[in-house]
Chains A and B, each alone.
Chain A
Amino acid sequence: MQNILLFSILGLASGAIIATIAIGVVLSWRGSGTINIAAGAVVMVAGYIFWCLRTGYFAPALMMVPAVLLTLVLMALLAVVVEVVAVKPLRTASPLARLVASIGVLLLFQAAVQLVFGTAPVDSPAVLSAEVVEVVGVTVPIAHFILAGVVVVLALALSMLYRFTRFGLATRAASENERSAILAGLSPDSLSLANSVIAYVVAGLVGVLAASVVGVSASTLPLLIVPALAAALLANFTSFGIACAAGLAIGIGESLLFYASTQSWFPTQDGFALPGMQQVAEFFLIVIALWWRGSSLPQRGETAGRSLPPVPRQERLVRRAAPVVLACAVALVVLPSDFRQAVTTGLVATVLCLSFVVIMGYVGQLSVVQLALAGLGAFTVSRLGTEFGIGFPLGPIIAIALATVLGVAIGAAALRVRGITLVVVTLAAAIAIEQFVFANARWGGGQTGAPVESPTLFGVNLGADASFPGLNGTLPSPLFGLLALVGTVVLYAFVANLRRGDLGRRMLAVRSNERAAAAVGVNVRAVKIVAFGIASALAGTAGVMYAYNYSTVSAGSYGIAIALTLVASVYVLGVTLVQGAVLAGFGAIGAVVPLILQKWVLPQDQISIWVQLIIGVGLLVQLKLFPDGLLVGMELKKERRAEHKAQSEPSVVSPRVEEGVPA
């Protein structure tokens, strides 16, 4: 009993941080209508800024009070910079573009911090007193209570601010209907900026106070966005009080779950408590929150009615794809081995990106779980081969089926939410799969990685170590690369053709207006489920190809940072076009573009962090130029030009001009 109390109180610290991030999410939603995925990273940045100021990393070390104040000022400035760079230019862009921009901010913050300070957590000097108090016989640090108290006071203050002041009234109005707010003489831009500054300063304050209690880490703090999103969902993205209470409760719950894992009744494996239970619990909490709150999530009225990037017609595919296919085929045979490997990886990543084209581009549902599904496929192939002796082709079939079933199940759990809100569920699912399956030593690779047997058919080795005339066994074999090329081309044609067929039309109908689609007889649920199925099967296929490509599967390749990088790069290049998938695929980790960067441009180590940084920056720059994605924007320009040409000729003899003469 005392232990339960102790762990509840210890959970207050992380609960306070989760509550703060949840409050930040609510503030961003109210201020600019964005689900701010970067809210957790903001707390991390504040922690690092304070650490620098206090320990004298760049300049002479400051005393505590000036360091805290300067941190808050810098956070306010950072809010202004992010607002100007990543929020304001996208006001009239689709909500998807704004969400992707917040992913870009997250990637950028995380990569920048990791490059400057390294990936290991830093020990921040304590701000709160280290004294302990005795509560009903348990000795606990007083800092935990102070931290929770500060967050509760902040939440109450924000509630008052929004209920009783002119600013609060204006923000509530603008968050409901931007256009009406403009007509009322309010400026949504200034309101968004003000809310964003408040969010950053609040996050900064709690980040500084909590730094010494929970530790400052570039890998864990940004991911606290997942439980924070659960809290924000329970608060309907509106109530600061509920967000705060739910955040604290989640923190306490996680602490108690940790306590439970030390008990004898807790499920164990090989003598250790089952990993990832916390992330699985968070996922189910989000699913429950969505079932409960999903239909009542506030929708935001936008100045521009456009919600998603347009889907250009996909024509003359053969003529466009043929040179690329030919180039790949030649490259797979003649280039040195590291480049052959990179081309194959690019092809596999293309298949993965095609799954984003289906689910994000055609159906407009933002899913970040695709990479985790691919990982699931890869690990399944590995385990089936090593433990059950099930090899090619039955193993891959089972693996793809498993990924599909899980993807459909996640999609079904999220049927009540649509569009960008889906990111919340899929993010939680991706992290749950990563921690529960991949990190599990028996099911996943654990820390070491799992071996994969090469596929053989009728005794012929088709894998990456297959023999190929003229190469004398240097890996990887062009044979596997060529097979991957054939598979990629088939799936590419399938996805491109989907856009032109009947199912594709129904997907686009669901995407633009679910109610209208249902009204004309489209079964919205069925279309979504089928789309999740197709996307998950593509992801599973990519996973199987990854596994055979590298002959080993490690959990590190399927982490959430890589998943977010991939989602962001697909969107920025053109998520509604199959060509966008190809570009993003060849820019993915391990593929051709990063290899070139690694070889000749960037330092050899930490290549994935560098790629993350580059994609984060490139994303924010590109979104300003073509908020719908690079290829989509260019394609639309082309279409518009063609239309203008077609219009300009007959307009010379338009009826109005003819009539004008006799009058």
Chain B
Amino acid sequence: MTQALELRGLSAGYHGSTVVRDLDLRVGRGEVVTLLGPNGAGKTTTLCAISGVIKTHGGSVTLGGEDISSVSPTRRARRGIAHVPEDRGLFFGLTVAEHLKLGRRGEHLDAELAYKYFPALAAITNRRAGVMSGGEQQMLALGRALARQPGLLLLDELSLGLAPVIVERLLPVIRQFADETGCGVLLVEQHVQLALGIADRAYLMGHGEGSTSYDASELLNDTRLIEASYLGGDDLDLESLATDHNQKIYERETQ
């Protein structure tokens, strides 16, 4: 099976300083993968490097089996990457309906798909994004991303500025979309428990370096790893955490 996304030895950063170093990561088709880690670990940078908004310093980005490392961000978006950034990437002067029409020449956005997953949007099609509530905006951002029928969905901090109850409603929609369309999802989320609740696998990042992948449900039981993913700290040691985690699973299974 080809992967929706595969990163090999990815390095990226800003103005010549490297933030993400030598990251390996993959997301399968229809798989929801979450990227965990403390502030400054390089999660957002990783997403930006995948969508091409920032230049990579090394390594490769492969989308559906095709190397897109040297492809411009505009073309990456056209090849099926939908990146919902932290600021939601909306246009405040455009209405909901206009957002769902906005595409390159010949591209058809499936507005019905957006309304199907987020029925609340159908009631406010003529409202400008600038006057919508945070929850509505996030729904529009997600609905727009889904309407583009992407092969890979990158979601950055969906929960930013939203009440947990809204996040609890948004995340299952993502899961459902991935299951139904086979779209791969890479999710960065502060609400670790919620994210792990819908994810298949998780990667832990610290100081710009990535870990091996964990099974999401196993990770939910490992309080030490979850703590590390929030707090990080100078003594964050991804390798020993992974060893301990595997040790625990091994012990439990042999009992």
Residues of A within 8 A of B (CB): 166, 169-170, 172-173, 176-177, 179-187, 303, 640, 655-656, 659, 663
Q: Is B160 an interface residue (CB 8 A)?
A: no
Please report the C-alpha to C-alpha distance between residue A177 and residue B83 in the assembled complex, in whole angstroms.
14
- Residues of A contacting B237 in the complex (Cβ-Cβ under 8 angstroms): 659, 663
- Contact indicator A173/B53 (Cβ below 8 Å): no
Q: Residues of B contacting A176 with CB < 8 Å?
A: 91-94
**In the complex the two chains form, what is the Cα distance from A184 to B16 in whole Å?**
26
Say if the beta carbon of B105 comes within 8 Å of chain A.
yes
Q: By the criterion CB–CB under 8 Å, are B234 and A655 in contact?
A: yes
Residues of A within 8 A of B85 (CB): 179-180, 183
A348 to chain B, nearest CB (A): 39
A185 near B93: Cβ-Cβ < 8 Å: no
A173 in complex: contacting residue of B73, B77, B91, B105, CB < 8 Å: B91
Q: List 22 A-B contacts (CB under 8 A).
A: A166-B103, A166-B105, A169-B94, A169-B98, A169-B101, A173-B102, A179-B53, A179-B89, A180-B89, A180-B90, A180-B91, A182-B53, A183-B82, A185-B77, A185-B103, A187-B74, A187-B104, A303-B53, A656-B207, A659-B237, A663-B237, A663-B240
Q: Which residues of A contact B104 (CB under 8 A)?
A: 170, 185-187
Question: Which residues of the partner chain A approach B8 to less than 8 Å between Cβ atoms?
Answer: none
B87-122 CB mask vs A (1 if < 8 Å, else 0) is 101111110001001111101000000000000000
Residue of A nearest to B106 (CB): A166
B51 at the interface (CB under 8 A from A): yes
Given contacts A180-B89, A185-B74, 15 further A-B contacts (CB under 8 A): A166-B105, A169-B94, A169-B98, A169-B102, A172-B93, A173-B94, A176-B91, A179-B53, A181-B91, A183-B73, A185-B75, A185-B78, A185-B107, A186-B102, A655-B234
B107 / chain A contacts, CB cutoff of 8 Å: 185
Report whether B89 and A184 are in contact in the complex, using a CB–CB cutoff of 8 Å.
yes
Query: Which residues from A are CB-within-8-Å of B253?
Result: none
Contact with A along B121-151 (1 / 0, CB 8 A): 0000000000000000000000010001000
Interfacial residues of chain B within 136-175, with CB under 8 A of chain A in the complex: 144, 148
Residues of B within 8 A of A166 (CB): 101, 103, 105
- C-alpha gap A173/B129 in the complex (Å): 12
Inside 8 A of A187's CB, which chain B residues have their CB? Answer: 72, 74, 104
B89 with A183: CB separation less than 8 A: yes
B251 part of interface (Cβ distance < 8 Å): no
Q: In whole angstroms, how far apart are the Cα atoms of A179 and B92 in the complex?
A: 13
User: What residues on A are CB-neighbors of B239 within 8 Å?
Assistant: 663
- Select one of B16, B75, B89 contacting A177, CB under 8 A: B89
Interface size class of B (residues with CB under 8 A): 20 to 34
Residues of B within 8 A of A173 (CB): 91, 94, 102
- Given that A170-B102, A173-B91, A176-B91 are contacting pairs, would A182 and B77 also be in contact in the complex, using a CB cutoff of 8 Å? yes
By the criterion CB–CB under 8 Å, are B91 and A177 in contact? yes
Q: Which 3 pairs between the two chains have the least Cβ-Cβ distance? A: A185-B77, A180-B89, A185-B78
A177 CA to B144 CA in the complex, in Å? 16
Chain A residues with Cβ below 8 Å from B72 are 187
Closest to A174 in B: B91
Which residue on chain A has the smallest CB distance to residue B98? Answer: A169
Q: Is the CB of B74 within 8 A of A186?
A: yes
Closest chain B CB from A178 CB (angstroms): 10
What is the distance, in angstroms, from B95's C-beta to the closest C-beta of chain A? 10
Q: Which residue of A lies closest to B90 (CB)?
A: A180
B residues contacting A by CB (< 8 A) are 16, 51, 53, 72-75, 77-78, 82-83, 85, 87, 89-94, 98, 101-105, 107, 144, 148, 207, 234-235, 237, 239-240
A183 to B104 alpha-carbon distance, docked (Å) = 11
Q: Distance (Å) between the CB of B207 and the closest chain A CB?
A: 7
CB pair A183 B51 closer than 8 Å: yes
Quick check: B83 and A183 within 8 Å, CB to CB? yes
**Cα of A640 to Cα of B15 in the assembled complex, Å:** 10
B53 touches A184 (CB 8 A): no
CB-CB under 8 A from A186, the residues of chain B are 74, 102, 104
Please measure, in the bound complex, the distance between the C-alpha atom of A177 and the C-alpha atom of B90, giving whole angstroms: 8
Residues of A within 8 A of B93 (CB): 172, 176
Name the B residues within 8 Å of A177 (CB-CB): 89-91
CB-nearest residue of chain B relative to A656?
A: B207
> Which residues of B lie under 8 Å from residue A185 when comparing CB positions?
74-75, 77-78, 103-104, 107, 148
A624 CB to nearest chain B CB (Å): 18
Task: Name the residue of chain A whose CB is nearest to the CB of B104.
Answer: A185
Task: Tell me how far the C-beta of A360 lies from the nearest C-beta in chain B, rounded to whole angstroms.
Answer: 24
Residues on the A chain within 8 Å of B101, using CB: 166, 169
Chain A residues near B102 (CB, 8 Å)? 169-170, 173, 184, 186
Whether the Cβ atoms of A182 and B234 lie closer than 8 Å is: no
Question: Please, how many angstroms separate the alpha-carbon atoms of A180 and B85 in the complex?
Answer: 8
B41 to chain A minimum Cβ distance, whole angstroms, is: 13
Contact A659 B235 (CB under 8 A): yes
Does the CB pair B92–A184 fall under 8 Å? no
How far, in whole Å, are A176 and B90 apart by their CA atoms in the complex?
A: 9
**Residues in chain B near residue A180, CB distance under 8 A:** 85, 87, 89-91
Write the nearest CB–CB distance from B114 to chain A, whole angstroms: 14
Which residues from A are CB-within-8-Å of B75? 185
Say whether A182 contacts B94, CB under 8 Å.
Answer: no
Whole-angstrom distance between the alpha carbons of A166 and B107 in the complex? 11
CB-nearest residue of chain B to A182: B73
Q: How far is the CB of B248 from chain A (nearest CB, A)?
A: 17
- The chain B residue sitting closest to A647, CB to CB, is B17
Q: In this complex, which of B87, B104, B105, B234 has the most chain A Cβ atoms within 10 angstroms of its Cβ?
A: B104
In whole angstroms, how far apart are the Cα atoms of A640 and B101 in the complex? 45
Q: Give min CB distance, B113 to chain A, whole Å.
A: 16
**Alpha-carbon distance A656/B22, docked complex (angstroms):** 15
Contacts of B73 in A (CB 8 A): 182-183
Nearest CB on B from A308, distance (A): 16
Chain B residues with CB under 8 Å of A663's CB are 237, 239-240
Residues on A with beta carbons closer than 8 Å to the beta carbon of B235: 659
C-alpha spacing A179/B74, complex, angstroms: 10
A663 to B98, CA, bound (A): 54
Central interface residue in A172, A180, A185, A655, by most chain B CB within 10 Å = A185
B87 — which chain A residues lie within 8 A by C-beta?
180
Contacts of A640 in B (CB 8 A): 16
CA distance A185 to B52 in the complex (A): 11
Instruction: State how many angstroms separate the Cβ of B94 from the closest Cβ of chain A.
Output: 6
Q: List the B side residues contacting A183 at CB < 8 Å.
A: 51, 53, 73, 77, 82-83, 85, 89
Residues of B with C-beta under 8 A to A169: 94, 98, 101-102
- A318-B240 Cα distance, complex, nearest whole Å: 55
Q: Which residues of A sit under 8 angstroms from B94, Cβ to Cβ?
A: 169, 172-173, 176
Find the B residue at minimum CB distance from A176.
B91
Whole-angstrom CA separation of A176 from B87 in the bound complex = 13
Q: Considering the complex, give the chain A residue whose CB is closest to the CB of B103.
A: A185
A527 CA / B168 CA spacing, docked (Å): 48
